[in-house]
Chain A
Amino acid sequence: MLSAMRLVLARELRLAFRRWGQAATPLMFFMIVTTLFPLALGPPQLGGLASGVLWVAALLSSLLALDALFRADFEDGSMEQLVLTRQPLPILLVARVLAHWLVSALPLILLAPLLALALDLPGRALATLLLALLLGTPTLSFIGAVGAALTTGLRRGSALLALLVLPLAVPVLIFGARATDMAAHGEDPSGALFLLASLLFLSLSLGPFAAAAALRVSLE
């Protein structure tokens, strides 16, 4: 089972490496959205908004990346092959989503402190921001995998994906932005971080099964 996960992980990373332009799109999107906020709000007003801006931007760019999660696999028929192997599908999907997270979310997290400083987030909140993103973005990926599995192959699939996934992402957004905000105000953010961690465990344990069921339906 572990070797199957390793195979999937290696293949996805290799594919992402050969198509690195595709993997870089969410990152650019993240930067652009973050830049839009100061332009729309005006620099003097930014003060307390940094964590909210970063989280909304992270949520939107993870959504953008999710749209492509299963699309290519559906179109070239390799999803059928993946579903028809001896291995349990949820396990394969865990590896699949993990690879997706490594490629699309991790660079974004590494870039986030830089953008945070540009948005006037106090330096003491940076560690919390990183930790919150590390805990929160995998949850977004696992929730989003269910949505992507349901909508891939439908007309208007991308718009539908946003409609399905964004409401479910609300708790992550609330706890993530709040944790960062609390740290910025010198409060103790551990409560929100624990809640983020429990959301991660919940989505990690249930999400792959829901995504597997959704994939089987979408393949019919």
Chain B
Amino acid sequence: MAEQQADILTAENLQLWRGDRRLFEHLFVEARPECMVHIQGANGAGKTSLMRILCGLASPDEGQVCWRGERIGRVRSEFQGMLAYLGHRDGLKHDLSALENLRFCCGLQRSVEEVTLRAALDSAGVGDAADLPVRFLSAGQRRRVAFARVTASAAALWLLDEPFANLDAEGTAFVARTVLGHLEHGGLVVMAAHRLPPELSAARVAIVTLG
């Protein structure tokens, strides 16, 4: 029972078809605290599809995804309360300011202090733009805001789909450092990315290769 209560995300025997093409079958993924799962593969290999299956947005043709040993469909509210998902779209409202975006998304998960949100934006390097409508930010800055949403959410499980997209060297290093810190504090990370930045070489990584 103790095993079941630990924070652990498992995907068993996944199979997914896209039309007449099979993206993957008999795929097992296990994410545990302190060890990052790195999903890699060529374009079109199904990285984003797998990420969406892992967070419950999509369902596989075969197999199941479990959180703490229970199918995520059954413990949806509990599972999603522990989850922060960074999709390949930022999920930000362009007419709201960065701060307003964060206040809404994090506020739906738990009550958050304004200071926490500002601190998250500051450390992501977009503190100056916190009160500007997201419309006025560059693609890289938006990515930083979206990542700040993940850090401010206080979620245990981070599902990051191409977190380094559009980021400059400094931003990449920041994301890598933050991910390392999250892992050290016992967090879970699943990341889909083409290649990992050198900063992450210090992390324990389990690799899932698609295609």
Contact = CB atoms under 8 A, between A and B. Distances in A.
B58 A220 contact: yes
Given A76-B90, A77-B89, A84 B96 contact: no
B82 to A, nearest CB: 9
Contact of A86 (B56, B77, B100): B77
Interface string B127-165: 000000100000000000000000000000000000000
Interface string A1-38: 00110011001001100110000000000000000000
Nearest to A77: B89
Nearest to B89: A77
Contacts of B91: 76-78, 80-81
Nearest to A82: B108
B59 interface: yes
Interface of B: 52, 55-59, 77-78, 80-81, 83, 85, 87-96, 100, 104-105, 107-110, 133
A8 B96 CA distance: 13
A14 B90 contact: no
A87 to B, nearest CB: 6
Contacts of A78: 91-93
A84 B83 contact: yes
A116 B48 CA distance: 53
A88 B57 contact: no
Best-surrounded residue of A19, A80, A86, A220 (most CB of chain B within 10 A): A86
B95 A18 contact: yes
Closest 9 CB pairs of A and B: A77-B89, A86-B81, A77-B91, A85-B108, A81-B91, A18-B95, A220-B58, A78-B91, A11-B104
B78 to A, nearest CB: 8
Contacts of A86: 77-78, 80-81, 108-110
Given A85-B109, A88-B77, A77 B95 contact: no
Nearest to A88: B77
Contact of A87 (B57, B59, B108, B133): B108
B55 A84 contact: yes
Contacts of A18: 95-96, 133
Contacts of B110: 86
A182 B100 CA distance: 48
Nearest to B88: A77
Nearest to B134: A76
Given A11-B104, A86-B81, A19 B95 contact: yes
Contacts of B90: 76-77
Interface string A75-109: 11110111111111000100000000000000000
Contacts of A202: none
Contacts of A85: 80, 105, 108-109
B92 A76 contact: yes
A15 B95 contact: yes
Contacts of A80: 57, 85, 87, 89, 91
A203 B81 CA distance: 29
Contacts of B55: 84
